[in-house]
Each structure stands twice: as C-alpha cells, then as structure tokens.
Amino acid sequence: MRPALDACNMQKGMALVLIALILLPLSNADTNTPDESRESVGGHAILLEHYTATWCDTCATVDPWITEFSDSHSSRMVRVALHPDDHDPFGSPLTTKRLALKQADHSLSLPTFWFDGQGEMEGTVSQTLLENQLRSAESERVQWMHMRVLWDTWHNQTQGDVHQLTIDVNENLPSNAVITVFRLETLEMTTEIAYNGIDIHHDVATQMISFAPNGTIVDTYDGEQGWSMSEVDLNGGDGGSDFILETTGRVSDFVTIIEVNGNVRGVIGISDDDTLPKAENFDIFALLLLLGVLAISTAISRRETTH
C-alpha cells in the first residue's frame, strides 16, 4: 500500500502548490503595473527629417516610397515627418522651430530632407541619392551616445491612454547638450482641403519637447495632449542620467535625439510594435505546465492504485 500512499501524497502536494500559485498573483496584484511596456536600446541610428506637406504634388509621388525606404532601413535610421504650419492640417509650430535650428530661413522646396540635420536635399530625390546620403551621414558620425528608452502605457477608457517615457542616457552629458523628444503619429486625411491624393501620412511629428542635461525645459510644443517631466535623476546607476516624461492619447512612436552644439550625437526610436511580453503571460504558462504535471501525477497514482 505504500506506493499508492506516496502517489496520493504527491498528488495532494501538487494540488496545494497549484492553489498557492493561483492565489499568489491575486494577493500581490500591483495596480501600478502598466498594461503595456516597450524597450529600445541604442543611439547609433541616423535621423532623417522629412519636410513634406499634404498639398504638395511632388510629395505625393515621393512620400509613399519614402515610408517604404524608412521601414527597410529601420535598423539604421529613424524618420520624422515635419509638416508646415500653414494650410496643412498636420502642420504645427514645432516644424517652424525645427527649421529655425537649421537656419533654413530661405524658401525651401517641398519635399526637403536632412540626415542628422545636414546635407539638405530639396525636391524630387531618388532612392539611390538617399541611400548615398545615409551612408555619408553614418561615416561622418564620429561618435554616438548610448541610450535606453522605456515606454509604459496605462489604458484609461475615460481619459485616454497614459504614457510614461523613461530616457536613460548611459554617460555624462556635456552642459551644451540638448535632448529632444518627438511624438510621432500615423494620421489620416479627413478633409479635401490641402489634399494631394495621399490619405494616410506616417511618422508625423505632433509633439516636441527639448530639455537640457539638468532637466530644464528649453523648448516645447505640447500639441493636443501636453507634456510633463515627472522626474529627473542626474545620478543614474550607470553614471548617466534618467529623464521621465508623461503624456496621453494615441501614439505610434517616440524619437529621442541628443544634440551637442547642434550636432546630432544620438538617435533612438521606439515603436508601439516593440511591446514586451507581459509578466502574466509567463504566469499562465507556469500554471499550464503545473496543471500538466498534476494530470500526469494523477494518472500515475490511479495506475498504481489499481495494481
């Protein structure tokens, strides 16, 4: 009778462990845990700023394949689409602010492109030309600053999603550095005004914030949602700095840029597609595994009991 008794005890033990694992997540539930989390590490990417407009006929022939070009080179560059603050429904003052940094006070043709703020190219361009400019920008990037970006989202049915962006710079920033964060969205045309035939526009910059290494905000365009800097840690564990920003609403991507004396020294993008597996998914897997073990132990105990 001892084998049957041992099997029975094993089955009871497994059942108790199963009950404990089921109750543990309930007792340790953290209401502050984000519904979605994303992470991106790097800084070596090249920044492609694309000045375009919804009323530009030339843009209508170039913009569609620019999106494909950007997607196919996503490991090497990130794109920010800047729309003029005039008759363009997606335009905003942030474009004017960004163009002023390039001293682009002359009349620009549309579209216009910059890689890391340099090598201004106007009008109709070819993929070969952009490919060459991308390689040139990569060769001219003498050094780059390493960053780690975390993006947490809490879903809110009444007030909209709440987003927290943590920017971890892994080295000491010079005092003349400026960190700029763009919020990017995919927008759809809902008006016939200023319409060049393109319905969906990707990577549109709708918010911008720039701040100094000490956390002082240098410039900002809040857009419809607004920014807030909730925390600045100038003594991060890796010797660098941590900056925490918050905003709300719908977001496709964030792009973080570090510039020193106007020269781009670090670029990193983080996308809504970069969602990390949620912890509860691993809990479910563990429970399923334990249920399988319990089923096997039950079958063994029944077989030993019948013998």
**What is the C-alpha to C-alpha distance for residues 7 and 72, in angstroms, rounded to an integer?**
58
Identify the pLDDT of residue 12: 55
Strand pairing partners for 50? 81, 113
In contact, 258 and 265? CB cutoff 8 Å: yes
User: For the chain, which ranges sit under pLDDT 50?
Assistant: 1-2, 5, 17, 19-30, 279-282, 285-286
Enumerate the domain spans of the chain. Answer: 2-30+279-306, 36-274
Architecture of domain 36-274: 3-Layer(aba) Sandwich (3.40)
Q: What is the CA radius of gyration of the chain?
A: 26
| 51 closest CA partner among 236, 205, 220 | 205
Q: Which 3 state secondary structure label does DSSP give 123?
A: coil
Q: At which residue do the structure tokens 């993008």 appear?
A: 269
| 3-state per-residue secondary structure call for 186-246 | EEECCCCCCCCCCCEEEEEEEEEEEECCCCCEEEEECCCCCCEEEEEECCCCCCCEEEEEE
